[in-house]
A and B are shown apart, each in its own frame.
Chain A
Amino acid sequence: MPVIYMDNNATTKVDPAVLEEMLPYFSEQYGNPSSMHMFGGMVGRKISEARERVAASFGCQPGEIIFNACGTEGDNTAIRSALASQPDKRHIITTRVEHPAVLNLVKHLERKGYEATYLGVDEQGRLDLDELRDAIRHDTALISVMFANNETGVIFPIKEIAEIAKERGVLMHTDAVQVLGKVPFDLKDIPVDFLAVSGHKVHAPKGVGAMFVRKGVQFRPFMMGGHQEHGRRAGTENTTGIIGLGKACELAMGNVAHENTVVRALRDKLEKKLIEAVPDTRINGVVDSRLPNTTSLAFQFVEGESILLMLDAFGVCASSGSACTSGSLEPSHVLRAMGVPFTYAHGSIRFSLSRFNTEADVDLVVAELPKIIHRLREISPFKRTEGEAPACTC
């Protein structure tokens, strides 16, 4: 049975062109880039090329890129560095809907004596910039706000937020893991100090990431050891991963237009047809400011895992929220922060597409999912009959 993969915000397929570029560096060109000999030097040059490609896709200087293992490492490094370089400042501002890579770290820091303000979102998942302005204090060390939400796809006004931070002299970090290749951005225009991305969300392999640290911003390394990455991130480089990430970033830049036309059209068709076919269905998140590949659909009176498992029988891979929270018993923290009613929150399914999805994929989901929801509603004690008011609006 072919796999219909619509969980690209969790991870992506390695692009064949990325794999091709990486392959020789597993076998023939296996030198250590730190070695003095030519054999290692060739790999070092390839890493420099990757750095240039990543920098080009961010609109920054190659020297502002640090390669690391993943988005979580980038987020952790940025936040810890910002705090370590300003020991007299004890306050952090973030949002309630961040990825656990930020949220759990900030909660941990609170236990260590830092103070945090968690900005709320409205029912469409939007931030209130006045609330942000009011939250800034004389001892605010950092504002950390994600570029786009992984569950709903809602895009935050990062440029405006970074400008507010800059005006008030506060460092600014953004988790940009979901936007690369989906939303064009140029760090010459957006005055953030730190930004983190992850390879496996952009068709590069797992285990590689990159972070941007603006030139002139004080930096405190998270990992210490050798002189790799100019002493900013010790440890022998994941050379094949970095080379793959460089290629993936180059492809991502060329893909932004396709993502915003073809992929967006597929997503819109999926969303429209499902809403038409299934009563009591709604979209989580503001419709006109979302990632072009993402939809979080809420089906009332049914439970997400049951939907996913039935979809799995057709080879369809989706998600019932953030993959990192799938062991949780409660609806996702993002949907709760948005105040999505329980009747909808438990039945929320995220579809996240990529350039590898086809019209036939969408057609199959549109054909099968309404039947699945109907079946589960038949089993549910909360189902309602046509025309009746919903049984529960809690």
Chain B
Amino acid sequence: MWEYTDKVREHFINPKNVGEIADASCVGEVGSLACGDALKLYLKVDENDRIVDAKFQTFGCASAIASSSALTEMIKGKTVDEAMDVSNQDIAEFLGGLPKEKMHCSVMGKEALEAAVANLRGLPMAPHEEGEIVCECFGVTDTTIRKAIAENNLKTVEEITDFTKAGGGCGKCLDKLADLLAESKGVLKPLQPVAPARPAGLTNLQRMKLISKIIDEEISPSLQKDGGNIELVDVDGKTVLVQLRGACSSCKSSQLTLKQFVEKRLRDAVDPDLVVEEVR
């Protein structure tokens, strides 16, 4: 049997905040029955982005239940941004430590929080669902593994298993885990906790093509509906040069259209630093 701290036992025997929130602002769900661990986290967030209530339902071992209980206690009263600063190590520390083989329970807590916040922000998926499945037994992706390596400074394949469960079943993925570990050596940069809404690391050519595509397929057709149009002239670094045509060229609020619509859409989809300028 595992050596659990009194705090783990306490949160397991008398877990805090068990249940559902009927009118939750968001729900984060991770794990599955097949994996032997699953957590459903409900958050109620007020207009100031403050978490006023948090509840959970967990299927899993004592550490999974205790980690869920600890997480809800830790994030209640925090703003969403403050809550996102809670790491899986914080959850483990709050409990006075977890057996290393059970660290994946604290990671599951953190992932459920990320999934709930992604849900709150209207993002399509939690970061752990991105990437390629590396461990088929437990459905763990390369993104999750890279993140666990970086955030917990993992040094061995066994540690990856302790933190993510990957490799804890048939063992088929152990070589791939070793590859990810090798790749991470020297580049232990923590990943963004929430999935980026836009593609990162585009080359100049890719950026230009994407801008052109969005203008042609989205922005231009919508301006055409009002009798106007737009044409891409050039992309100079972060500056997008365009020419307005038709009704738009003589419109008094053309600057508003450029900033509020064209620039905003391109910033969201391509790069937050883009500036759109009109060439006359």
Contacts from A to B (Cβ < 8 Å)? 301-303, 305-306, 308-310, 312-313, 326-331, 342-343, 346, 378-382, 392, 394
Contacts and interface: CB of A to CB of B under 8 A. Distances in A.
Contacts of B165: 329
Interface string B30-64: 00011011111000000000000000011111101
Nearest to A343: B33
A327 B15 contact: no
A301 B38 CA distance: 11
Contacts of A342: 33-34, 36
Interface string B9-45: 1001101001000000000010001101111100000
Interface centre among A308, A329, A331, A392 (most CB of B within 10 A): A329
A313 B1 CA distance: 13
A306 B36 contact: no
A331 B13 contact: no
A329 B168 contact: yes
A303 B60 contact: yes
Determine the main DSSP class of B at the interface with A: mixed
Given A379-B59, A381-B39, 20 more contacts: A301-B59, A303-B37, A303-B64, A306-B12, A309-B12, A313-B13, A326-B1, A327-B101, A328-B168, A329-B138, A329-B161, A329-B169, A330-B168, A342-B36, A379-B15, A379-B58, A380-B58, A381-B58, A381-B59, A382-B59
A213 B258 CA distance: 90
B84 interface: no
A305 B33 CA distance: 15
Contacts of A326: 1
B36 A380 contact: no
B200 to A, nearest CB: 33
A394 to B, nearest CB: 6
Contacts of B57: 379-381
A342 B12 CA distance: 23
A379 B138 contact: no
B22 to A, nearest CB: 15
B145 interface: no
17 contacts: A303-B36, A303-B61, A308-B1, A313-B13, A328-B168, A329-B138, A329-B165, A329-B168, A330-B36, A330-B169, A342-B33, A342-B36, A378-B18, A379-B58, A379-B65, A380-B58, A394-B34
Given A329-B168, A342-B34, A305 B13 contact: no
A28 B64 CA distance: 53
